[in-house]
Amino acid sequence: MDRPFAGPLLAALLGGCSLAPHYERPAMPEAPPQRYKETGEWKVAVPADARARGPWWQLFHDADLDELESAVSSTNQSLRAALARLDEARAATRIAGSNYFPTLDASAAATRERVSLNSPSYAPGKPGTTNLFTVGANLSYELDLFGRVRNTVANARYNEQASAGDLASMDLELHAELASDYFTLRGLDVEQQLLDQTVADYARALALTQNLYQGGASPISDVQQAQAQLESARTQAEDTRLRRAQTEHAIAVLVGREPSTFSLPARAAEQLPSLPAVDAGLASELLERRPDVAAAERRVAAANANVGVARAAYFPVFSLLGSGGYQSTQTSNWLTAPSQFWSLGPQAVLTLFDGGLRRAQSAQAHAVYDEQVANYRGTVLTAYQEVEDNLAALRQLRLESVSQAAAVTATQGALEQARLRYKGGIVTYLEVVATENASLSARLTAVDIDIRQAAATVLLIRALGGDWHQPTVAAAPAVTVPAG
């Protein structure tokens, strides 16, 4: 045996060891930012996803939204599947952990056999047909000298923790998706109310224009323009009904209901519910609580443990084997002392040639580790991007909202002036149509900005890992999915 190799091997045989590399959380290629570019001062984040995220949707103070959100955790089918995957991972950890204990099995057999008279084992004068009765037990136990079992268990445990992170991430994502869909639906309610009122106004304008035409005060082109404007508004109104129906169907699926049996009554409102303000001094700890970051990091740890399993394959597998029981050719003395047998002793198995199998398995384990490190770093970068994106979106949308409100006011004033000028015969009906369309477009754009602001607020909460006002909101209950 090579002397440099003998020392570590002897130490391993005596005390046991783990061949997995020492694990440290992967470092990012560049130092994490000390602050977000878009707003505020921030500190370096470290995952802490076990903290309660709170029922963050209560920040919007909407009873219908609260009721829908409370149904997601217990009825959503995607969440049920994620919970089942966590149960699978927990079972896999128990399966791996069973290797810490010896395996004991019992057997019993009764055999009647005839030996060939031409067999080398046949002894002349002895009967060619015999009975054999056996009852016994076998014991096997692997001595985990090189950490194969420990690293297999560690790999399973880290994957279990990653599955728990996946479940928490799925829960956060589904609640955020529901909130976003809900605010889209309420925004469509506002648009629908606006368009229905517009259709009624355009219908009255068409009737007035027809009366003027019949009285000879307006040309036929004014009637045609009024008719085209009315039908265009009706098309927009019907398209908004379609979008609302599809959004309502999406909400039904999220809460585990059949779309045909689910409905949310339209709410008469001129604008969306007020949104919680995003403080520029948001606590950076909330970025640490992203469960997808924690899950990615746990998968790196699992891959690191699997490297130890691959390394252990180069060393012998030491086992303790034992067996015992009773064996006889007759039932009359089968379970007597002279029929006893037993054996006990260690066994070592070392693969001498495998055609490069272990080398390939080791290379595969290292490649999987590198892949998980890259995935982890990518997840962290995406987390920072999502926070930056939505902070920028909220800042810009607030500016857009102010300018669009001014545009609504301006187009409304222009519309009133155009109507007065038309009644005075100064301009044609074409100018009225143009200003009415501009006014409608400005008001619809204002509603769309409100919807986008609500969506950006929800997405920012999701990007930060939950509620940033945690001290003022009670902790959310654990995610539970009833059987069935």
pLDDT band for position 81 (50/70/90)? very high
Cα dihedral across residues 335, 339, 340, 343: positive or negative: negative
Write out the two tokens for 31: 């130092």
Q: What is the signed CA dihedral for 447, 450, 456, 458, rounded to 10 degrees?
A: -110
What's the pLDDT tens digit per position in 224-257? 988 999 999 999 999 999 999 999 999 999 999 9
Q: Which of 31, 291, 320 is nearest to 173 (CA)?
A: 291
* Cβ atoms of residues 135 and 326 within 8 Å: yes
Please identify which residue in the block is written with the tokens 């304008």. 205
* Cβ atoms of residues 212 and 222 within 8 Å: yes
What's the pLDDT tens digit per position in 330-339? 888 899 998 9
Helix (H), strand (E) at residue 203: helix 148-214
Over residues 351-359, mean pLDDT = 92
Rounded to a whole number, what is the largest CA-CA distance in the chain? Answer: 135
What's the pLDDT tens digit per position in 187-211? 999 999 999 999 999 998 889 889 8
The helix/strand/coil state of 215 is coil
- pLDDT computed for residue 35 by the predictor: 52
Give the separation between CA 153 and CA 38, rounded to whole angstroms. 43
Judged by phi (left if over 0) then psi (alpha if -120 to 50, else beta), residue 278 lies in beta
- pLDDT computed for residue 278 by the predictor: 57
Beta strands in 122-180 (DSSP E): 129-143
The helix/strand/coil state of 405 is helix
pLDDT band for position 276 (50/70/90)? confident
Beta strands in 65-175 (DSSP E): 103-114, 129-143
Residue 44 scores a pLDDT above 80: no
Lowest-confidence pick of 18-27, 72-81, 220-229 = 18-27
Over residues 107-135, mean pLDDT = 84
- pLDDT computed for residue 52 by the predictor: 56
Residue 411 scores a pLDDT above 70: yes
Three-state SS letters, 354-376: CCCHHHHHHHHHHHHHHHHHHHH
Cα dihedral across residues 183, 185, 186, 190: positive or negative: positive
Residue 279 scores a pLDDT above 80: no
Please identify which residue in the block is written with the tokens 């920040």. 59
- pLDDT computed for residue 49 by the predictor: 55
Give per-residue burial for 325-347: e unless 16+ CB within 10 Å, then b.
bbebeeeeebeeeebeeeeeeee
Q: Which of 444, 433, 441, 420 is nearest to 228 (CA)?
A: 433
Residue 326 scores a pLDDT above 70: yes
What's the pLDDT tens digit per position in 128-140? 788 899 999 999 9
Give the separation between CA 108 and CA 98, rounded to whole angstroms. 25
Over residues 114-140, mean pLDDT = 83
Give the separation between CA 162 and CA 375, rounded to whole angstroms. 13
Residue type, 483: A
Residue 448 scores a pLDDT above 90: yes
Give the separation between CA 461 and CA 458, rounded to whole angstroms. 5
pLDDT band for position 309 (50/70/90)? very high
* Cβ atoms of residues 464 and 383 within 8 Å: no
Write out the two tokens for 149: 């079992």
